[in-house]
Each structure stands twice: as C-alpha cells, then as structure tokens.
Amino acid sequence: MKRLGSLFFLFASVLATGCNTVQGMGQDIQKGGQVISNTARDVANKF
C-alpha cells in the first residue's frame, strides 16, 4: 500500500505540473493508468 500511495503522489504531481494542454493531460492520465496496471500485475504475481 505504501508503494501505491507513492505512485499516486507521483501521478498527481505529474498531472499538476505537466498538463499545459488537453493532449498533455490525456498523456499524463494514460501514463498513470499504466502505472496502476503495472502495480496491480506486480501484486497479483506476488500471490
């Protein structure tokens, strides 16, 4: 859970600083989704 919180903070900071356009925001959201998917896959592999 600590790692997930860190990833969420990273994602939020990227959104806050890197979204000058709608296209940039879409790319940031896509990257955040990839991080969440990767984290979920890592957790599933541990079980």
Torsion angle of the four alpha carbons 33, 39, 44, 47, in this order, in degrees rounded to the nearest 10: -170
Residue written as tokens 């959201």? 29
Query: What pTM was estimated for this model as a whole?
Result: 0.51
pLDDT of amino acid 47: 82
User: What does the pLDDT look like over 1-47, one tens digit per residue?
Assistant: 567 677 787 777 776 665 566 677 788 889 989 999 999 999 999 88
Tell me the domain boundaries of the chain. 2-42
